[in-house]
Amino acid sequence: MLTKVIIIAKNTFVETIRQPIYAVILSLAIFLFVLSPSISMYTLDEDIKMLRELGLSTLFLAGLFIAIFSASSAVTEEIDSKTITTVLSKPIGRPTFIIGKFFGVMAAVGLAHYILTIAYLMIVRHGVLESASDTHDWTVILAASVVISLAILLSAFFNYSYDWSFNSSAIITIALLSTIAIVFLFFIDRDWKYNPHDNHFEMFDINASILLLMAISILVSLAVLFSTRCNVVLTLTICVGFFMLGLISDFIFSKFIGSDSIIIAGFVAKAWRILVPNLQAFWISDAIYEGSTVPASYIGTTALYAVGYTTGILSLAIALFQRRQVG
């Protein structure tokens, strides 16, 4: 079974990163990162904090939409085009199919999240021009420009010479080159000197990105769940609804829990609080303005929370898909 899951996941990953919508969302998110320093420069003394919040918001939303469209193309389109009958006619069970699709989509979303996290770290390293005397961090600008330019040239070469997919080649190349670039920026400061102690990279940003990836894994499982029964538009609508509700669920439902005057409302609130994932637990924007750190114990607790919810949602997806007519 493990071999079959790996094969399905690998094929899903390759098909997903070849999708034009994947590259479009990724490019749009990078463009928003580039605009972030200009947008956040008008917040007086909160410039860098606003930059971080804008960056994390872009990271979260990009993961949401990539998850939805990737899961829809991986599951819904196969059902609609009847190609799934060919897959299920082989010795591949429906649970294997769903699990493989989830891990394939999750790998593609994780790759995009990795690239965007590096872009986010570069933007935070560059910072905001708070006064007229501030200058651009040309080390970051040059490193990012080299990564994008070289990725486009290499992808065009591979596409022309070997007929490789331009989208997938560009994404893989950007991931590799951006890794080299961020390591270079870790050691070299804005004055082109070896100075790893003044690189403006903080563990807080990496922890925040890890927490968001956990939340995105829940959204990927939700997208796979609803893709087994709904079309792309309906999946998008429901997942966005869960996303919005998950960010405010703790605030809304906590008002009714423990209320003696509204027993039924309190029971319903408890039920909804269990059913709706609390995405606010993964969003640590308050810590940005409070200047607090994220302890390892909190990351471990939220990881268990994400694994539990993801497992439960995937189990429901398998149960619903067992009775889905695909022939």
Q: Where are the domains of the chain?
A: 2-322
Express each pLDDT in 255-296 by its tens digit.
Answer: 655 554 444 555 666 666 777 888 888 988 777 766 667 888
Report the alpha-carbon distance of residue 66 to residue 224 in Å, rounded.
Answer: 12
Report the alpha-carbon distance of residue 66 to residue 72 in Å, rounded.
Answer: 10
Task: Note the pTM of the prediction, 2 decimals.
Answer: 0.90
Average pLDDT, stretch 145-171? 93
Least confident of 141-150, 185-194, 299-308: 185-194
CA nearest neighbour of 219 among 202, 196, 238: 238
Average pLDDT, stretch 172-182? 95
Report the alpha-carbon distance of residue 195 to residue 1 in Å, rounded.
Answer: 49
Place of tokens 């007929």: 163
Q: pLDDT exceeding 90 applies to what percent of the chain?
A: 41
Phi, psi of 262 (to 5 degrees): -125, 75
Q: Over 90: is that where the pLDDT of 87 sits?
A: no
